[in-house]
Structure 1
Amino acid sequence: MPCAISIVNTKAGLKEFIRWPHQLYRNDRLWVAPLDQDEWNTLYPNWKENGSAKTRFLLARRGKEIVGRIVGIAIPQDYISGNLLRVRWGWLEAIDDPEVFSALLSAIEHWASALHAQVVQGPLGFTNLDKAGMLIKGFDALPTIVELYNPAYYPVRVEQLGYEKAIDWIENKLIVPGKVPEKLIQLARVIQNRYRVKTLQIRKTAELLPYGQELFRLINETHRHLHGFVLFDEANAATYLKKYFRLVNKDLICIVQDDRDQMIGYGIAIPSMSKAFQRAKGRLYPFGIWHILRASRKNDRADLYLIGVKDEYRNKGITALLFEKIMQGFIDQGIREVESNPELETNSQVQALWKNYDFVQHKRRRCYQKLLDKSL
């Protein structure tokens, strides 16, 4: 039976869209289910097109059975001089069937052509804090909660449809040393005195909240050059602060300030929530929150989320202060392994941070692209 593509045009349909991967991956031990509440908070405003993005939410069905899903995304930042350069696609999930992949991606390509886009790229999200990049290496590794998961057939099916590499992300696994290296401690003190900078001292996690918007303004500055980066406005920042703040551990965050108390650098890690999210099965209540709280208090793995330094302080060793504090936090919390999360393969500055540590590159993921045929 051929598959039929339908536009998600009701709240009930959006709920189906969000929950269907639980059916697809029900026997997959590596899939880390996102929280349904987080998915709804991300997707619903964009599905309604209350924001600035144009979207197309699609489901593929055979008869009454869902066999795939995808979102097409056109955002203002992808327009240049009034012309749409790129349409993104994300949230692609499908059974291992070339017809389903073809139907979903062809539907997005036709929609993109109607918008006069030049190219389609994916998987990408609405912002750089959404999941992006299709796994092409490391299919046996447990993903973090901010990473896409896909079985090995996904890149095969996408490449069969003419998609090619746009850019890759690599991921590293770091073995935490038994103590903070003395050279790192000494370097941090030298940098601190030379540039009159300091690390923000906090007693409890709630004290970080007033710095949230300033943090996102600095993220805009430090990440603006990265592939597909979308600037965060205050509303977006508030959404992601709400989404991730409950996972924060004050000992795994470092904020560096100058002598005027202005933020110039940040490093953010959290205890690994992958197994807790697997046990939650998409539901925060009644038991999901318990698994998450337990993982935040006792864990031997952590994920490095974000790191950045203000432009004028780059190449001045500020990362020594960030790593000193966060590394000590790992040791104090009993963390043995750390996932880097995706790093652009072209981001040599970030990759250089790992050279003095025991690490292995164990995953790679890819953003694919396809030039559009204007006859579509």
Structure 2
Amino acid sequence: MIQVEKVQDKHALKAFIQFPSSLFSDDPHWIDPLTVEREEHLSKKNPGTDHITWQAWIAKKGETVVGRITAQTDTLHRELYGPDTGHFGMIDAIDDPEVFDALFAAAETWLKSQGAHNITGPFSLNINQESGLLIDGFDTPPSALMPHGKPYYASHLERLGYTQGIDLLAYWMKRTDLFFSPSLTRLMDQVRKKVTLRPLNRKKFAEEMQVLREIFNSGWQNNWGFVPFTEREFDIMGDQLKYLVPDDMIHIAEVDSVPCAFIVGLPNINEAISGLHGRLLPFGWAKLLWRLKVSGVRTARVPLMGVRQEYQFSRIGPIIALLLIEALRDPFAKRNIDSLEMSWILETNTGMRTILERIGAEPYKRYRLYEKQIQAE
């Protein structure tokens, strides 16, 4: 018998957070997230909870946890897409159809009670956090703030009536393999005369973060499932980036002194926390500090990049994106960062995909966002 229990106390939350560690114990590519980070993510400290209402469940066989899931609604999403939208996320389970059936039955029943019948996911907890179900690329570890999964997840979701909404791609490139053809270089040199690239101004950090937020919300507003970042979300993100990202790994592009695009290069935190088993105590914090500040990490991820809407279909828009990518090359070289993940990129974003593939990047992971219509109560 499968029992599904709501996560309603600290004990159940601990079981919810720790379950993936046992599920992926035989997966050499699994990296335990920091427990304290997951606890904060699933608490009021997560600024997304200002507009997200969520519920989590764990599935048990006897006393053994065999699965987990969340369901959530997002008022910002509903303002854009209608009051009948809802989401699921953080799905992990053993390869057992009864477990998946029970978890999704609980999630869908709760979503119906919230008036939702157009369901999308997985999100942890919305599209601006961890998104998508890993479909391809199980043979490498996930980069920072990207999900991992089991190959059998997709078949269980599809059996339950979930269909492809859109796919997200992660691109991988080696710093030394970046190649700008003579024709691209000429275009970049022409645009460089009109565009000013500068690193983040730490003396105006809070103001700069809101500039990035405005650019991101402008550039992404027409994308599938877009939900705008709030000021508080970017404030808190800025508090984190302040300690994790050097100033010269955040670049802003300006045209006539007006910010029009940006890029953020994040040292791969997953590389730094590998082997800590989610713990910062008793010595995990020291190892993390050593890896981030002393020994360094060899990989990075671009989790945030944006070009204002008015430039995206202009002649110089794609070239500005190239100039921003190029701007990270020297800061990465200075820190011995060898490789970079660009993620995520919508499969339908042919402009960005073409740019990345022309300079030597290759898609190496694919994530799927699913959708399903359920009968609302």
The answer to whether the superposition gives a TM-score over 0.5 is: yes
Identify the range of structure 1 (98-107 vs 264-273) with the bigger mean alpha-carbon deviation. 264-273
Distance 1:223 1:113 in 2: 29
Selected match of 1:354 from 353, 356, 368: 356
TM-score by length of 1: 0.88
What is the RMSD of the two structures over their aligned residues, measured on CA atoms? 2.8
Distance 1:33 1:81 in 2: 35
Tell me how far 1:367 sits from its aligned partner: 1.0
Say which SS state the counterpart of residue 165 (structure 1) adopts: strand
- Give the paired residue count: 370
Q: Is the 8 A contact 1:180 1:327 kept in 2?
A: no
Identify the range of structure 1 (96-105 vs 20-29) with the bigger mean alpha-carbon deviation. 20-29
Residue type at the aligned position of 1:326: L
* Structure 1 unpaired stretches of 5+: none
Distance 1:120 1:185 in 2: 45
Q: Is 1:227 aligned to residue 229 of structure 2?
A: no
Closer, same or farther in 2 for the Cα pair 1:88/1:46, shift >3 Å? farther
Tell me how far 1:71 sits from its aligned partner: 0.9
* Residues 192-341 of structure 1: pairs in structure 2 closer than 5 A: 192-194=192-194, 197-201=195-199, 208=205, 210-260=207-257, 262-297=258-293, 298-314=296-312, 315=314, 316=316, 317-341=319-343
* Residues 1-376 of structure 1: pairs in structure 2 closer than 5 A: 2-45=1-44, 51-79=50-78, 84-177=83-176, 181=180, 183=182, 187-194=187-194, 197-201=195-199, 208=205, 210-260=207-257, 262-297=258-293, 298-314=296-312, 315=314, 316=316, 317-374=319-376
Distance 1:68 1:30 in 2: 20
Tell me how far 1:136 sits from its aligned partner: 1.0
Identify the range of structure 1 (242-251 vs 216-225) with the bigger mean alpha-carbon deviation. 242-251
**1:294-344 CA deviation, whole Å, 9 max, x = no partner?**
443533322122221112333313223312211232333333322222211
Tell me how far 1:49 sits from its aligned partner: 10
**1:98-124 CA deviation, whole Å, 9 max, x = no partner?**
111110111111122222322222111
Say which SS state the counterpart of residue 117 (structure 1) adopts: coil
Distance 2:124 2:150 in 1: 19
* Structure 2 unpaired stretches of 5+: none
**1:149-176 CA deviation, whole Å, 9 max, x = no partner?**
0011111222222211111112221122
Distance 1:362 1:186 in 2: 29
Residue type at the aligned position of 2:190: V
Q: Is the 8 A contact 2:67 2:99 kept in 1?
A: yes
TM-score by length of 2: 0.88
Q: Is the 8 A contact 2:199 2:247 kept in 1?
A: no
Distance 1:357 1:122 in 2: 32
Q: Is the 8 A contact 2:29 2:142 kept in 1?
A: yes
Residue type at the aligned position of 1:29: P
Closer, same or farther in 2 for the Cα pair 1:40/1:266, shift >3 Å? same
Say which SS state the counterpart of residue 29 (structure 1) adopts: coil
